[in-house]
Structure 1
Amino acid sequence: MKYLFPLLALGLTAAPAHAASVSTTDIIATPDFSYGFEDLPQSSAFGSVVISGNITVMQVLGDPNGIWTSFPFPGQEGSRSWYPIGGDLGYTVIKTTDGADLSAFGFLSGNGEALGTVRTAHYSLRRDGVEVASGSYANSAEMSYIGFSDAIFDEIYLMSTSGPTDSFSFFGDRTRNTLAIDAIEMKLADAPAVPLPAGGLLLLSGLAAAGLLRRRG
Protein backbone atom coordinates (compact mmCIF):
# COMPACT_ATOMS: atom_id res chain seq x y z
CA MET A 1 0.00 0.00 0.00
CA LYS A 2 1.32 3.41 -0.91
CA TYR A 3 1.20 6.28 1.58
CA LEU A 4 1.62 9.81 0.30
CA PHE A 5 2.21 12.82 2.51
CA PRO A 6 2.23 16.29 0.91
CA LEU A 7 5.09 18.42 2.15
CA LEU A 8 5.39 22.18 2.06
CA ALA A 9 8.59 23.49 0.56
CA LEU A 10 10.80 25.57 2.82
CA GLY A 11 13.33 28.30 2.16
CA LEU A 12 13.11 31.96 1.24
CA THR A 13 13.13 32.00 -2.54
CA ALA A 14 11.20 33.68 -5.31
CA ALA A 15 10.69 30.37 -7.10
CA PRO A 16 7.36 28.56 -6.72
CA ALA A 17 7.23 26.18 -3.75
CA HIS A 18 7.76 22.54 -4.65
CA ALA A 19 5.83 19.69 -3.04
CA ALA A 20 7.23 16.25 -2.33
CA SER A 21 5.69 12.84 -1.71
CA VAL A 22 6.91 10.02 0.52
CA SER A 23 6.18 6.42 -0.39
CA THR A 24 6.73 3.05 1.29
CA THR A 25 6.61 1.18 -2.02
CA ASP A 26 9.23 1.30 -4.77
CA ILE A 27 8.58 4.35 -6.94
CA ILE A 28 11.53 3.98 -9.34
CA ALA A 29 11.07 1.16 -11.85
CA THR A 30 14.23 1.98 -13.82
CA PRO A 31 16.74 4.02 -11.77
CA ASP A 32 19.35 6.13 -13.53
CA PHE A 33 21.80 5.37 -10.70
CA SER A 34 21.81 2.73 -7.96
CA TYR A 35 24.20 1.60 -5.26
CA GLY A 36 24.11 -1.10 -2.60
CA PHE A 37 27.48 -0.74 -0.79
CA GLU A 38 28.47 -4.28 -1.84
CA ASP A 39 31.90 -3.14 -3.01
CA LEU A 40 32.86 -1.92 0.48
CA PRO A 41 35.14 -4.02 2.69
CA GLN A 42 33.83 -5.76 5.78
CA SER A 43 34.52 -3.16 8.42
CA SER A 44 33.29 -1.67 11.68
CA ALA A 45 35.48 1.41 11.24
CA PHE A 46 35.02 2.49 7.63
CA GLY A 47 35.63 6.13 6.65
CA SER A 48 32.90 8.76 6.36
CA VAL A 49 32.65 9.09 2.55
CA VAL A 50 31.99 6.71 -0.32
CA ILE A 51 31.61 7.65 -4.00
CA SER A 52 30.22 5.24 -6.56
CA GLY A 53 29.63 6.69 -10.01
CA ASN A 54 27.15 9.53 -9.62
CA ILE A 55 26.18 8.68 -6.03
CA THR A 56 28.05 10.17 -3.06
CA VAL A 57 27.26 9.13 0.52
CA MET A 58 28.90 10.85 3.47
CA GLN A 59 28.57 11.15 7.21
CA VAL A 60 28.64 14.75 8.43
CA LEU A 61 29.64 15.81 11.98
CA GLY A 62 30.03 12.16 12.97
CA ASP A 63 32.95 9.84 13.68
CA PRO A 64 35.28 10.13 10.65
CA ASN A 65 35.95 6.37 10.82
CA GLY A 66 32.72 5.16 12.35
CA ILE A 67 30.71 3.44 9.59
CA TRP A 68 29.92 -0.23 10.15
CA THR A 69 29.52 -1.69 6.65
CA SER A 70 28.74 -5.28 7.64
CA PHE A 71 26.19 -5.00 10.44
CA PRO A 72 23.45 -7.55 9.59
CA PHE A 73 20.14 -5.70 9.30
CA PRO A 74 16.94 -7.64 8.68
CA GLY A 75 15.59 -6.65 5.28
CA GLN A 76 18.87 -5.38 3.82
CA GLU A 77 20.05 -6.38 0.35
CA GLY A 78 23.31 -8.32 0.19
CA SER A 79 25.87 -8.25 2.98
CA ARG A 80 26.81 -4.55 3.12
CA SER A 81 25.03 -1.39 4.30
CA TRP A 82 25.84 2.03 5.79
CA TYR A 83 25.48 2.37 9.55
CA PRO A 84 27.20 4.82 11.97
CA ILE A 85 28.33 2.29 14.55
CA GLY A 86 26.95 2.93 18.00
CA GLY A 87 25.20 6.01 16.73
CA ASP A 88 26.74 9.46 16.44
CA LEU A 89 25.64 13.07 16.65
CA GLY A 90 25.98 13.59 12.92
CA TYR A 91 23.79 12.90 9.91
CA THR A 92 24.00 11.26 6.51
CA VAL A 93 24.07 13.19 3.22
CA ILE A 94 23.39 11.48 -0.11
CA LYS A 95 23.79 13.43 -3.33
CA THR A 96 24.63 13.25 -7.00
CA THR A 97 28.37 13.43 -7.47
CA ASP A 98 28.10 15.84 -10.39
CA GLY A 99 25.35 17.99 -8.88
CA ALA A 100 22.66 16.78 -11.28
CA ASP A 101 19.04 17.32 -10.24
CA LEU A 102 16.85 14.41 -9.16
CA SER A 103 13.11 13.91 -9.44
CA ALA A 104 12.95 10.76 -7.30
CA PHE A 105 15.09 8.97 -4.72
CA GLY A 106 14.57 5.71 -2.88
CA PHE A 107 16.46 3.49 -0.43
CA LEU A 108 16.12 0.91 2.33
CA SER A 109 15.97 2.57 5.74
CA GLY A 110 16.47 1.07 9.19
CA ASN A 111 18.04 1.76 12.57
CA GLY A 112 20.63 0.07 14.73
CA GLU A 113 18.35 -0.41 17.73
CA ALA A 114 16.96 -3.70 19.06
CA LEU A 115 14.50 -5.52 16.81
CA GLY A 116 11.01 -4.05 17.10
CA THR A 117 12.33 -0.61 18.03
CA VAL A 118 10.87 2.25 15.98
CA ARG A 119 12.59 5.62 15.81
CA THR A 120 11.82 8.87 14.01
CA ALA A 121 13.83 9.48 10.85
CA HIS A 122 14.14 13.06 9.60
CA TYR A 123 14.90 14.15 6.06
CA SER A 124 15.62 17.35 4.17
CA LEU A 125 15.58 17.52 0.37
CA ARG A 126 17.82 20.29 -0.94
CA ARG A 127 18.68 21.90 -4.25
CA ASP A 128 21.75 24.09 -4.61
CA GLY A 129 21.97 24.22 -0.81
CA VAL A 130 18.36 25.40 -0.33
CA GLU A 131 15.82 23.17 1.40
CA VAL A 132 12.84 22.39 -0.84
CA ALA A 133 11.06 19.86 1.39
CA SER A 134 11.47 18.23 4.79
CA GLY A 135 9.66 15.95 7.19
CA SER A 136 9.93 12.68 9.09
CA TYR A 137 8.84 9.05 8.95
CA ALA A 138 8.71 6.07 11.30
CA ASN A 139 11.97 4.12 11.02
CA SER A 140 12.08 0.50 12.19
CA ALA A 141 15.08 -1.63 13.11
CA GLU A 142 14.00 -3.88 10.22
CA MET A 143 14.94 -2.21 6.94
CA SER A 144 12.09 -1.12 4.67
CA TYR A 145 11.73 1.00 1.55
CA ILE A 146 11.30 4.78 1.62
CA GLY A 147 11.01 6.88 -1.54
CA PHE A 148 10.78 10.61 -2.25
CA SER A 149 9.32 12.12 -5.43
CA ASP A 150 7.40 15.10 -6.85
CA ALA A 151 10.24 17.51 -6.06
CA ILE A 152 13.45 18.61 -7.75
CA PHE A 153 16.55 18.25 -5.57
CA ASP A 154 20.22 17.28 -5.77
CA GLU A 155 20.91 16.03 -2.24
CA ILE A 156 19.12 14.61 0.77
CA TYR A 157 19.98 14.90 4.47
CA LEU A 158 18.96 11.98 6.72
CA MET A 159 19.14 11.00 10.37
CA SER A 160 17.22 8.73 12.75
CA THR A 161 16.82 9.72 16.40
CA SER A 162 14.85 8.82 19.50
CA GLY A 163 13.74 12.43 19.93
CA PRO A 164 11.65 14.93 17.97
CA THR A 165 14.53 17.10 16.74
CA ASP A 166 14.82 17.61 12.99
CA SER A 167 17.80 19.97 13.07
CA PHE A 168 20.74 19.12 10.84
CA SER A 169 23.00 21.49 12.72
CA PHE A 170 25.22 20.19 15.51
CA PHE A 171 23.80 20.38 19.02
CA GLY A 172 25.47 18.56 21.89
CA ASP A 173 22.20 17.55 23.54
CA ARG A 174 20.75 15.92 20.42
CA THR A 175 19.99 12.21 20.66
CA ARG A 176 22.28 9.95 18.70
CA ASN A 177 21.73 9.16 15.05
CA THR A 178 21.30 5.43 14.38
CA LEU A 179 20.18 5.56 10.75
CA ALA A 180 21.10 2.58 8.56
CA ILE A 181 20.71 2.71 4.77
CA ASP A 182 21.03 0.35 1.83
CA ALA A 183 20.01 -0.14 -1.82
CA ILE A 184 20.01 3.51 -2.95
CA GLU A 185 18.30 4.36 -6.24
CA MET A 186 18.02 7.71 -8.04
CA LYS A 187 16.02 9.10 -10.95
CA LEU A 188 17.30 12.14 -12.81
CA ALA A 189 15.01 15.11 -13.32
CA ASP A 190 14.03 16.01 -16.86
CA ALA A 191 15.45 19.38 -17.86
CA PRO A 192 12.49 21.80 -17.92
CA ALA A 193 11.95 24.05 -20.89
CA VAL A 194 12.97 27.63 -20.12
CA PRO A 195 10.21 30.00 -21.31
CA LEU A 196 11.19 33.33 -22.81
CA PRO A 197 10.03 36.42 -20.93
CA ALA A 198 7.14 38.27 -22.54
CA GLY A 199 9.51 41.06 -23.60
CA GLY A 200 11.74 38.54 -25.33
CA LEU A 201 8.80 37.13 -27.26
CA LEU A 202 7.81 40.61 -28.41
CA LEU A 203 11.39 41.30 -29.48
CA LEU A 204 11.53 38.10 -31.52
CA SER A 205 8.18 38.91 -33.12
CA GLY A 206 9.43 42.38 -34.04
CA LEU A 207 12.62 41.00 -35.54
CA ALA A 208 10.68 38.44 -37.54
CA ALA A 209 8.32 41.12 -38.84
CA ALA A 210 11.25 43.36 -39.78
CA GLY A 211 12.87 40.52 -41.66
CA LEU A 212 9.65 39.81 -43.54
CA LEU A 213 9.30 43.46 -44.58
CA ARG A 214 12.93 43.53 -45.69
CA ARG A 215 12.34 40.55 -47.96
CA ARG A 216 9.26 42.21 -49.48
CA GLY A 217 11.08 45.53 -50.04
Structure 2
Amino acid sequence: MTKLVFIFSCLLAFGANAGLIVNTTDFIDESNLTHFNGFEGFSNTFKSGKNYYEEDGIQVRQIFAQPGNDIALGFSLEGERSWYPNGGDYGYTEITMASGAEFTALEFLFLGPNLNNLAVHYSLWNDGQVVFEGALDIGKKERGVLGFEGGGFDQLFVRSGHRAASIFDRSSNGLNIDSIQVISATPTPVPEPSSIAILALGLVAIRLWKVNSVHQ
Protein backbone atom coordinates (compact mmCIF):
# COMPACT_ATOMS: atom_id res chain seq x y z
CA MET A 1 0.00 0.00 0.00
CA THR A 2 1.27 3.44 -0.89
CA LYS A 3 2.57 5.24 2.14
CA LEU A 4 -0.01 7.63 3.56
CA VAL A 5 1.33 11.16 3.74
CA PHE A 6 -0.38 14.21 5.16
CA ILE A 7 -0.63 17.09 2.68
CA PHE A 8 -1.94 19.48 5.26
CA SER A 9 -3.65 19.32 8.60
CA CYS A 10 -4.82 22.58 10.06
CA LEU A 11 -6.14 22.98 13.59
CA LEU A 12 -8.69 25.78 13.62
CA ALA A 13 -9.79 25.78 17.25
CA PHE A 14 -8.27 25.59 20.69
CA GLY A 15 -9.41 24.17 24.00
CA ALA A 16 -10.98 20.73 23.64
CA ASN A 17 -10.00 20.51 19.96
CA ALA A 18 -6.33 21.18 20.63
CA GLY A 19 -5.91 17.50 21.51
CA LEU A 20 -7.58 16.11 18.36
CA ILE A 21 -5.42 13.47 16.68
CA VAL A 22 -5.66 12.09 13.14
CA ASN A 23 -4.99 8.35 12.77
CA THR A 24 -4.27 6.25 9.70
CA THR A 25 -4.29 2.90 11.50
CA ASP A 26 -6.98 1.06 13.43
CA PHE A 27 -6.90 2.62 16.92
CA ILE A 28 -10.36 1.96 18.42
CA ASP A 29 -10.47 -1.09 20.64
CA GLU A 30 -13.63 -3.05 19.86
CA SER A 31 -14.32 -3.40 23.58
CA ASN A 32 -14.59 0.39 23.83
CA LEU A 33 -16.62 1.28 20.73
CA THR A 34 -20.21 2.32 21.36
CA HIS A 35 -21.60 2.32 17.79
CA PHE A 36 -20.82 0.54 14.51
CA ASN A 37 -22.15 1.08 10.98
CA GLY A 38 -21.18 -1.50 8.37
CA PHE A 39 -23.88 -0.58 5.81
CA GLU A 40 -25.25 -4.09 5.95
CA GLY A 41 -28.86 -3.02 6.46
CA PHE A 42 -29.70 -1.55 3.06
CA SER A 43 -30.30 -3.07 -0.38
CA ASN A 44 -28.09 -2.67 -3.42
CA THR A 45 -28.89 1.04 -3.74
CA PHE A 46 -29.75 3.81 -1.31
CA LYS A 47 -31.25 7.11 -2.40
CA SER A 48 -28.88 10.06 -2.14
CA GLY A 49 -29.73 13.61 -1.16
CA LYS A 50 -31.67 14.43 1.97
CA ASN A 51 -32.09 10.81 3.04
CA TYR A 52 -30.05 9.55 5.97
CA TYR A 53 -28.90 5.97 6.18
CA GLU A 54 -28.86 5.10 9.89
CA GLU A 55 -27.35 2.04 11.50
CA ASP A 56 -26.64 1.61 15.21
CA GLY A 57 -27.21 5.31 15.82
CA ILE A 58 -24.74 6.49 13.15
CA GLN A 59 -26.25 8.61 10.38
CA VAL A 60 -24.70 8.86 6.90
CA ARG A 61 -25.85 10.81 3.86
CA GLN A 62 -24.42 11.94 0.54
CA ILE A 63 -24.63 15.68 -0.16
CA PHE A 64 -24.66 17.07 -3.72
CA ALA A 65 -24.86 13.64 -5.28
CA GLN A 66 -25.47 13.60 -9.01
CA PRO A 67 -29.11 13.10 -10.07
CA GLY A 68 -29.74 9.41 -10.61
CA ASN A 69 -26.41 8.38 -9.09
CA ASP A 70 -27.45 6.69 -5.90
CA ILE A 71 -25.34 5.04 -3.24
CA ALA A 72 -24.48 1.56 -4.45
CA LEU A 73 -23.16 -1.69 -3.06
CA GLY A 74 -19.79 -0.62 -4.39
CA PHE A 75 -16.57 -2.48 -3.76
CA SER A 76 -17.18 -3.93 -0.34
CA LEU A 77 -14.28 -3.34 2.01
CA GLU A 78 -15.65 -5.47 4.81
CA GLY A 79 -18.78 -7.59 4.92
CA GLU A 80 -21.15 -7.43 1.95
CA ARG A 81 -21.86 -3.72 1.49
CA SER A 82 -20.18 -0.34 1.68
CA TRP A 83 -21.01 3.33 0.95
CA TYR A 84 -20.09 4.32 -2.57
CA PRO A 85 -21.50 7.04 -4.89
CA ASN A 86 -22.42 5.01 -7.96
CA GLY A 87 -20.49 6.43 -10.90
CA GLY A 88 -18.97 9.12 -8.73
CA ASP A 89 -20.45 12.52 -7.90
CA TYR A 90 -19.50 16.10 -7.09
CA GLY A 91 -20.43 15.93 -3.44
CA TYR A 92 -19.24 14.60 -0.11
CA THR A 93 -20.28 12.23 2.68
CA GLU A 94 -21.63 13.48 6.00
CA ILE A 95 -21.40 11.40 9.19
CA THR A 96 -23.27 12.34 12.38
CA MET A 97 -24.87 10.70 15.40
CA ALA A 98 -28.66 10.44 15.27
CA SER A 99 -28.75 11.56 18.92
CA GLY A 100 -26.78 14.71 18.13
CA ALA A 101 -24.01 13.60 20.48
CA GLU A 102 -20.38 14.54 19.96
CA PHE A 103 -17.85 12.00 18.78
CA THR A 104 -15.12 11.07 21.23
CA ALA A 105 -13.45 9.01 18.51
CA LEU A 106 -14.36 7.90 14.98
CA GLU A 107 -12.66 5.78 12.34
CA PHE A 108 -13.62 4.12 9.05
CA LEU A 109 -12.20 2.09 6.19
CA PHE A 110 -11.82 3.75 2.81
CA LEU A 111 -11.03 2.87 -0.79
CA GLY A 112 -9.91 5.59 -3.17
CA PRO A 113 -10.95 5.86 -6.84
CA ASN A 114 -8.94 4.38 -9.68
CA LEU A 115 -7.05 7.63 -10.23
CA ASN A 116 -3.66 9.10 -9.40
CA ASN A 117 -2.73 12.25 -7.46
CA LEU A 118 -5.66 12.09 -5.08
CA ALA A 119 -6.32 12.86 -1.43
CA VAL A 120 -9.01 12.08 1.12
CA HIS A 121 -10.28 15.47 2.28
CA TYR A 122 -11.95 15.82 5.67
CA SER A 123 -13.63 18.58 7.64
CA LEU A 124 -14.75 18.24 11.28
CA TRP A 125 -17.47 20.52 12.69
CA ASN A 126 -19.04 21.19 16.06
CA ASP A 127 -22.25 23.17 16.62
CA GLY A 128 -22.15 24.41 13.03
CA GLN A 129 -18.54 25.64 13.15
CA VAL A 130 -15.47 24.05 11.55
CA VAL A 131 -12.93 22.93 14.15
CA PHE A 132 -10.42 20.84 12.20
CA GLU A 133 -9.75 20.02 8.55
CA GLY A 134 -7.09 18.59 6.33
CA ALA A 135 -6.29 15.99 3.71
CA LEU A 136 -4.55 12.66 3.37
CA ASP A 137 -2.52 11.81 0.26
CA ILE A 138 -3.57 8.47 -1.26
CA GLY A 139 -2.54 6.35 -4.19
CA LYS A 140 -4.54 4.79 -7.00
CA LYS A 141 -7.31 2.53 -5.56
CA GLU A 142 -5.61 2.70 -2.19
CA ARG A 143 -7.28 1.10 0.82
CA GLY A 144 -6.73 2.44 4.30
CA VAL A 145 -8.07 3.63 7.62
CA LEU A 146 -8.81 7.21 8.59
CA GLY A 147 -9.86 8.22 12.08
CA PHE A 148 -9.99 11.01 14.62
CA GLU A 149 -9.69 10.93 18.39
CA GLY A 150 -9.82 13.59 21.05
CA GLY A 151 -13.47 14.62 20.74
CA GLY A 152 -14.86 18.08 20.24
CA PHE A 153 -16.76 17.42 16.98
CA ASP A 154 -20.28 16.27 16.13
CA GLN A 155 -20.14 16.23 12.32
CA LEU A 156 -17.67 14.87 9.77
CA PHE A 157 -17.55 15.67 6.05
CA VAL A 158 -15.29 13.49 3.91
CA ARG A 159 -14.61 12.92 0.20
CA SER A 160 -11.89 12.08 -2.30
CA GLY A 161 -10.52 14.60 -4.78
CA HIS A 162 -7.40 15.92 -6.41
CA ARG A 163 -4.80 17.25 -4.02
CA ALA A 164 -5.75 20.89 -4.54
CA ALA A 165 -9.47 20.21 -4.00
CA SER A 166 -11.54 20.98 -0.93
CA ILE A 167 -14.63 19.51 0.68
CA PHE A 168 -17.10 22.00 -0.75
CA ASP A 169 -15.66 22.87 -4.18
CA ARG A 170 -17.98 20.48 -6.06
CA SER A 171 -15.12 18.73 -7.88
CA SER A 172 -15.19 15.01 -8.67
CA ASN A 173 -15.55 12.55 -5.76
CA GLY A 174 -15.54 8.77 -5.70
CA LEU A 175 -14.66 7.76 -2.15
CA ASN A 176 -15.86 4.38 -0.91
CA ILE A 177 -16.19 4.01 2.89
CA ASP A 178 -17.14 1.17 5.20
CA SER A 179 -17.13 -0.07 8.80
CA ILE A 180 -17.55 3.19 10.72
CA GLN A 181 -16.50 2.65 14.34
CA VAL A 182 -17.46 5.25 16.93
CA ILE A 183 -16.94 6.10 20.57
CA SER A 184 -19.64 8.64 21.28
CA ALA A 185 -20.02 11.02 24.19
CA THR A 186 -23.38 10.88 25.95
CA PRO A 187 -25.45 13.92 24.97
CA THR A 188 -26.28 16.25 27.85
CA PRO A 189 -30.00 15.90 28.55
CA VAL A 190 -32.05 19.07 28.29
CA PRO A 191 -34.24 19.55 31.40
CA GLU A 192 -37.96 19.38 30.78
CA PRO A 193 -39.92 22.61 31.39
CA SER A 194 -41.63 21.09 34.43
CA SER A 195 -38.25 20.21 35.96
CA ILE A 196 -36.99 23.74 35.39
CA ALA A 197 -40.12 25.18 37.06
CA ILE A 198 -39.72 22.92 40.08
CA LEU A 199 -36.06 23.90 40.39
CA ALA A 200 -36.95 27.60 40.18
CA LEU A 201 -39.61 27.25 42.88
CA GLY A 202 -37.12 25.43 45.07
CA LEU A 203 -34.56 28.21 44.71
CA VAL A 204 -37.18 30.84 45.53
CA ALA A 205 -38.25 28.88 48.61
CA ILE A 206 -34.65 28.64 49.83
CA ARG A 207 -34.16 32.37 49.29
CA LEU A 208 -37.32 33.22 51.23
CA TRP A 209 -36.30 30.88 54.07
CA LYS A 210 -32.90 32.57 54.32
CA VAL A 211 -34.46 36.06 54.37
CA ASN A 212 -36.97 34.99 57.00
CA SER A 213 -34.21 33.47 59.15
CA VAL A 214 -32.22 36.73 59.12
CA HIS A 215 -35.20 38.78 60.35
CA GLN A 216 -36.11 36.42 63.18
Kindly indicate whether the alpha-carbon contact (under 8 Å) linking 2:5 and 2:137 is maintained by their aligned counterparts in 1: no
Q: What amino acid sits opposite 2:59 in the alignment?
A: T
- 181, 185, 188: which one pairs with 1:185? 181
Aligned twin of 1:9 = 12
**Structure 2 spans left out of the alignment, 5+ residues:** 189-205
Residue pairs, 1:1-217, within 5 angstroms: 7-10=10-13, 16=15, 18-19=17-18, 20-29=20-29, 30-43=32-45, 46-48=46-48, 49=51, 50-63=53-66, 65-72=68-75, 76-113=77-114, 117=116, 119-140=118-139, 141-170=141-170, 174=171, 176-189=172-185
Kindly indicate whether the alpha-carbon contact (under 8 Å) linking 1:40 and 1:69 is maintained by their aligned counterparts in 2: no
Identify if the C-alpha distance between structure 1 residues 53 and 64 changes in structure 2 by more than 3 Å, giving closer, same or farther: farther
Q: What amino acid sits opposite 1:177 in the alignment?
A: N
Richer in helix (by share): 2
Kindly indicate whether the alpha-carbon contact (under 8 Å) linking 2:103 and 2:153 is maintained by their aligned counterparts in 1: yes
Identify if the C-alpha distance between structure 1 residues 124 and 96 changes in structure 2 by more than 3 Å, giving closer, same or farther: same
Equivalent-residue separation in structure 2 for 1:56 and 1:65 (angstroms): 21
Shift of 1:149: 1.0
Q: Deviations over 1:30-86 (max 9, x none)?
A: 21110111122124xx3124112311110101125424432225xx11121111122
TM-score (norm 2): 0.73
Equivalent-residue separation in structure 2 for 1:7 and 1:149 (angstroms): 15
Shift of 1:7: 4.1
Shift of 1:8: 1.2
Moved over 6 A (4+): 2-6
Aligned length: 186
Identify if the C-alpha distance between structure 1 residues 3 and 163 changes in structure 2 by more than 3 Å, giving closer, same or farther: closer
Shift of 1:191: 7.1
**Structure 1 spans left out of the alignment, 5+ residues:** 193-206
Equivalent-residue separation in structure 2 for 1:167 and 1:23 (angstroms): 19
Shift of 1:9: 2.0
Equivalent-residue separation in structure 1 for 2:96 and 2:86 (angstroms): 22
Aligned twin of 2:193 = none
Kindly indicate whether the alpha-carbon contact (under 8 Å) linking 2:9 and 2:134 is maintained by their aligned counterparts in 1: no
Identify if the C-alpha distance between structure 1 residues 135 and 42 changes in structure 2 by more than 3 Å, giving closer, same or farther: same
Equivalent-residue separation in structure 2 for 1:151 and 1:169 (angstroms): 26
Q: What amino acid sits opposite 2:63 in the alignment?
A: V
Equivalent-residue separation in structure 2 for 1:102 and 1:139 (angstroms): 25
Q: What amino acid sits opposite 1:182 in the alignment?
A: D
Q: CA RMSD in A?
A: 3.2
Aligned partner of residue 18 in structure 1, secondary structure: helix
Equivalent-residue separation in structure 2 for 1:167 and 1:71 (angstroms): 21
Identical-residue share of aligned pairs (%): 32
Kindly indicate whether the alpha-carbon contact (under 8 Å) linking 1:83 and 1:112 is maintained by their aligned counterparts in 2: no
